[in-house]
Chains A and B, each alone.
Chain A
Amino acid sequence: MHNLGRSISAVLASALRNPDSSQYHNFKSALKSVSTLVDFSLMAQYHSHTPDPLVYMERYLQTFHRTKDMFLEFRTSKAIHAEANRQGRDLRELMANQRANEAHHNTAAKRCRQVDQERLERANQWVDLIQGENDFKFIKMHYMSHFASHVRHFGSIWMYSTKIGELAHKEQIKEGYRMSNKNEATRQILSQYGRQHTLGMRLQTIEALLKTGVIVVENRGMEMPTTSGRSAPWRMRKGCTNIGTLSELCRVHEIEYCDMMEEMLRFIKQTAADDPRLPADPTELGLLPVERFT
């Protein structure tokens, strides 16, 4: 619908180009009506207003109401359509009975003229009924008259939009329902969103703390964050006095020994040839004292 508001005026102007003389005024009114409604809606979405846009909004609204009668015949509801059809059917039966009674008095040409006249009469009755019943009286049409005064008294309309709340339905309710087993889904929906939200908050917290260097991620195996102050292995060993070798270090911190070896071998291969190199054998590495790795 947002895209519709942006492009419908131009597309309609293109579609209604080159009107003949009988269509000119109708097309002009229709285009004016649509473009003023679109302009009104676009201006209502301003995040801040000065007095001029509010005057424009009121003018657009007045112009729309002045030109909207072009669309009156298309405001027919299903109920009005049904009523018009019912009245047309009744009138057709009544006229058919009258014609049957007078049939033996009339010639064939006269009967044809009579049928045409009855058809015209039914069409006129249908148009009268539609025009009499159709209107633009619905509450959302009335609400538009409050927009400008609302901005004057309470600020931008954008602040009070339900758009954000409606968008939350997708994440908070629909996805929760989709992931539930559809059996007593309410509690599952609530717990699912709560779980997702809590995990999201937790991850953001960890990320923020990692950036500041307050915490060190353990049990990652693959990552050794470099932070200021003491080295990471020292902080990991803090409080653990019975660690002598690399295999014991892995056991205390519950790190997979094979992951640690893989990382160590990769590190050893990248070490320059003139630096003191560690042995490339995993068994030999596992028996080395941990101080060699600080």
Chain B
Amino acid sequence: MDCAESKTRLCFRILSAWIAYHAEHAALHGIGSKSCPRCEDSCKEPGGNPLKMYETHHYILYRVKALRHEPAEVAGIAEYFQRVGVKIGNNVFAGLDRVNPADLHKPDLLHNIYFVLFKHMIEWVEGFLRKHKRQQAFDDAWNEIPPYPELSVPKKGLS
């Protein structure tokens, strides 16, 4: 690469992020739909224990295991992949130089927080309000939100 100081530098383009939502990452990484692209063992209890630290997926090792295994080891390797939440050993990113496929997954605010967690939270809140007969109070307060810059006023209640 020619630089401004009239020197030619050797550059390496390194893939650092692959922005996608979970279903796409699951397909690209060859993991189960309930598995995390970063963590091993999380498929059994995703989100169940927030304080537990899991091992990071070692996709390079999976690739080596998938490509160079002996025929007698097939059952053992399949069991190993199932245990760590991987469907196939040969990850599409595992062959790239200087790339750790586990680092390519990035948290996505739109799909993670807004489209899923907030949606779930609203369902929980609706159920909670229904149980305690506070729906009407919530809708009244919701409809009383005054206009404010960059805040659109809700046109109808939550329920």
Of A37-45, A179-187, A213-221, the one with at least 4 CB within 8 A of chain B: A37-45
State the 9 A-B residue pairs at the shortest beta-carbon distance, nearest first.
Answer: A141-B47, A74-B127, A71-B124, A15-B138, A160-B106, A14-B141, A142-B46, A142-B47, A1-B114
| A129-163 interface with B by 8 A CB criterion | 135-147, 150, 153-154, 157-158, 160-163
B128 near A162: Cβ-Cβ < 8 Å:
no
Name 12 A/B residue pairs within 8 A (Cβ), A-sorted.
A4-B118, A6-B151, A30-B128, A41-B109, A75-B124, A138-B47, A140-B22, A140-B116, A142-B46, A143-B107, A146-B107, A161-B108
CA distance A37 to B118 in the complex (A): 9
- For B121, the chain A residues whose CB sits under 8 A away are 8, 34, 37
Q: Is A5 an interface residue (CB 8 A)?
A: yes
Q: Is A65 an interface residue (CB 8 A)?
A: yes
A15 near B111: Cβ-Cβ < 8 Å:
no
CB < 8 Å: which of B35, B124, B138 contacts A74?
Answer: B124
Q: Is B110 an interface residue (CB 8 A)?
A: yes
- For A116, the chain B residues whose CB sits under 8 A away are none
- For B137, the chain A residues whose CB sits under 8 A away are 14-17
CB < 8 Å: which of A1, A15, A142 contacts B118?
Answer: A1
CA distance A113 to B90 in the complex (A): 65
CB < 8 Å: which of A73, A145, A160 contacts B19?
Answer: A160
B42 near A163: Cβ-Cβ < 8 Å:
no
Chain A, Cβ-Cβ closest to B114: A1
- For A70, the chain B residues whose CB sits under 8 A away are 128
Against B, the Cβ 8 Å flags (1 = close, 0 = not) of A1-26 are 11111111011101111000001001
Size band of the interface chain A makes with B: 35 or more
CA distance A4 to B56 in the complex (A): 34
Interface centre among A37, A143, A154 (most CB of B within 10 A): A143
B118 near A162: Cβ-Cβ < 8 Å:
no
Q: How many inter-chain residue pairs (CB < 8 Å) link A and B?
A: 153
The smallest beta-carbon distance between A283 and chain B, in angstroms, is: 60
CA distance A186 to B2 in the complex (A): 40
Q: Is A51 an interface residue (CB 8 A)?
A: no
The smallest beta-carbon distance between A57 and chain B, in angstroms, is: 11
CB < 8 Å: which of A10, A34, A75, A162 contacts B108?
Answer: A162
B138 near A162: Cβ-Cβ < 8 Å:
no
Q: Is A54 an interface residue (CB 8 A)?
A: no
CA distance A75 to B114 in the complex (A): 18
B106 near A8: Cβ-Cβ < 8 Å:
no
The smallest beta-carbon distance between B19 and chain A, in angstroms, is: 5
- For A142, the chain B residues whose CB sits under 8 A away are 36, 39, 42, 46-48, 50
CB < 8 Å: which of A11, A34, A158 contacts B145?
Answer: A11
CB < 8 Å: which of B50, B109, B134, B142 contacts A44?
Answer: B109
- For B27, the chain A residues whose CB sits under 8 A away are none
